[in-house]
Amino acid sequence: MIEREKMIRGELYNSEDEILVNERLRCKQLCYEFNNLPFTELEKMSEIIRKLFGKVKGKFYINPVFYCDYGYNIEIGENFYSNHNLVILDCAKVIFGDNVFIGPNCGFYTAGHPLDAATRNSGQEFAKPITVGNNVWIGGNVCVMPNVTIGDNCVIGAGSVVTKSIPSNTVAVGNPCRVIKQI
């Protein structure tokens, strides 16, 4: 089994595999091109994102700067918006539903590293998916960790660190992020 397949399956894989390194370099080049376009070049910006992401549905807008690892594991729904400084470490799938709004300085991190130092130091890592439902608002400076699902109609408060899944129709805040209110 090749390392990319292990990565997608959530198994330990070698992140320094030549294929994965080349895919990350391609992605970094596209991110560089995106981030260095004038803000008036909306069509070119959209074209790069469509080339980069695995799936794009309808209209969207991503403010530079934006970074991701591979791009092909990212799927965005209709009416997706991200403010500045979005980082998506997409070693596993990161799926956003329709009408998702993301504040500035947010990160979605599928990558994880073994707790055992010897395994971690060998270059092995793993990744777990992130799913964000429909009609979700994520405040600024939010970190979403591996293996998290945020349900439909949620609001995640600014500065939250989302380490566990959040049920639909809730407001959740904090570090670690927890539900404080039903909507």
Active-site residue flag, 113: yes
Task: Write down the catalytic residue from 26, 57, 84, 113.
Answer: 113
Instruction: Please say whether the beta carbons of 51 and 70 come within 8 A.
Output: no
Phi, psi for 6 (deg, rounded to 5): -60, -45
Residues facing residue 88 across a β-bridge: 68, 108
Residues annotated as catalytic (active site), given as ranges: 113
